[in-house]
Structures are given as C-alpha cells and as structure tokens.
Chain A
Amino acid sequence: MSSLLKVFDITGSAMISQSKRLNTVASNLANAETVAPPGGTPYKAKHVVFTATPLGDEDATGVTVERIQEDSTPPKMVYNPGDPSADANGFVSMANINVADEMVDMISASRSYQTNVEVMNAAKSLFLKTLTIAQ
C-alpha cells in the first residue's frame, strides 16, 4: 500500500546484494596470491550474479544474488622451481585472480551501496515530511 515504505525494501535488497558482492571481492583479493597444493587445484575467483526480483507489485523491483559463479579462466602458471608446490616442470599454479578487475569491482560495489543509502535517506526524509501534514 504505502509506496514510500517499499523504497526501503528495494534499497535494502540492493544493499544486501552489493555487500555480498563486496564480500566475494574481499575473498578474491585475499586469495590473490594463493598457490595450489601439489597436485591440487588453486582457489578460483568467485563472482556474484544479480537478478531482478519483483517485491509485491510490478512497480517495486529489488535485487537478489541469484548465484555465486566460479571464474572459468585457467589458473595462472608461474615458473618457480624452488617452490614446494611446484610440479615436475617447475610450474606453480596460482589462483586465477586479476587484481585490477577485483579493484574495479570493489569500487563499483561500494559506489552502488552508497547510492542506495542515499536513496534510502531521501525516502526517509520524504516520509517524515509526510507525517507533518496538517500539523
């Protein structure tokens, strides 16, 4: 019924989704230098996939994280024969993380989060203003 209260649901869903995205970026950056154990597979970069979700009626569309997908690019092979994790040819397989990409993703996620906070604050001040009608 009340449209302005729905804005809180919408921006709330967006903030949750963006913070999940920020979480995956943090995991990826933390594992940027992760090396695979001998014979094993290294950490794979994770990316969130957003999907639009109707909230009640067609006017209100929120966001949810549909799934978290693993990056399919092959692991980085670094020649380092002295490393204990190196294979027979002296290569170490490292996590397939591109730090520049992750930084861009991080800035995008935090900007989107900030925008949604601003939208929420705008809706809040409008709502409070509405309460002053006829006073």
Chain B
Amino acid sequence: MNSKLDGYLNFQQTTINLLARRQEVLASNIANADTPNYKARDFDFNAVLEKKLKSAANGSASANELGTDLLYRQVIQPSADGNTVDMDVERNLFAENSLRYETSVTMINGQVKDMLAVLQG
C-alpha cells in the first residue's frame, strides 16, 4: 500500500545504513592502529550500494541483510608488526564518510519537507 512512500525514501535510507556500517568498519581500523598483525578492512561502497538497491528493487528478502563483502586494504607503507592501518588514509576516509552521512541526512530531511509541502498544500 505504501510502497510508493518506501520507494521515495528507499535510496537515502539504504545509503544512510551503508554509511553507518562503513563508519563502524573505519572506526575498527582506527581502534586497531596499534594492534600487531591487524589488517585494515573496508568495502567498495559503490558496488555494495548498487547491490543493495538492486535487491531492494527486486523485493528480495536479503535487502536488509549485511553481506560479507569486506575487503582488505592495499598496503601503502608496510610495517614491521604486520599491521596495515595507515592512520592518514583512515582518518581521511572517516571524515569523508561523516560528511557523506550528514549530506544524506540533510537530503532525507529535504525529501520529508517536500512531502509535507505536497500534503499540506
């Protein structure tokens, strides 16, 4: 019944969920910056978002499941203790991800305002 409403907000909802998940992955990397043999992880945001949007469009049940699409980061400067966390890279991505998250929240707020404008005339 309300599938139009779902569809209207679905893109930003999926994006926000995925950005929150990425925030978690990047926080794990930063937390483990001093852990020997820890390998920094991340996922291909574009690919995973596309996959999630496709499965949401097909109406398959796996749309909300978190798949195992975590990858390992390429090492720029190898370290002696086997840790692959590069603080500059992680901090950069973390800041960028925060900005994207705030953008998505702003966008979804705009969508809600548009909808209210339609409803209230």
Interface, chain A (partner B; CB < 8 A): 2-4, 6-7, 10-11, 13-14, 18, 21, 49-52, 57-63, 108-109, 112, 115-116, 119, 122-123, 125-126, 129-130, 132-135
Known A3-B23, A123-B27, A132-B105: A50·B94 in contact at CB below 8 Å? no
Query: How many whole Å from A4's CB to the nearest CB in chain B?
Result: 5
Number of B residues whose C-beta is below 8 Å from A? 32
Contact status B31-A6, CB under 8 Å: no
A2 surroundings in chain B (CB, below 8 A): 20
Whole-angstrom distance from the CB of B22 to the nearest CB of chain A?
8
Distance in Å: Cβ of B43 to nearest Cβ of chain A: 9
Are B24 and A50 in contact, with the CB atoms below 8 A? no
Report which of A51, A58, A112, A115 forms a contact with B70, defined as CB distance below 8 A.
Answer: A58
Across the A-B interface, give the 3 residue pairs with the lowest CB-CB distance, nearest first.
A14-B31, A3-B20, A61-B28
Kindly state the separation between the CA atoms of A50 and B109 in the bound complex, as whole angstroms: 42
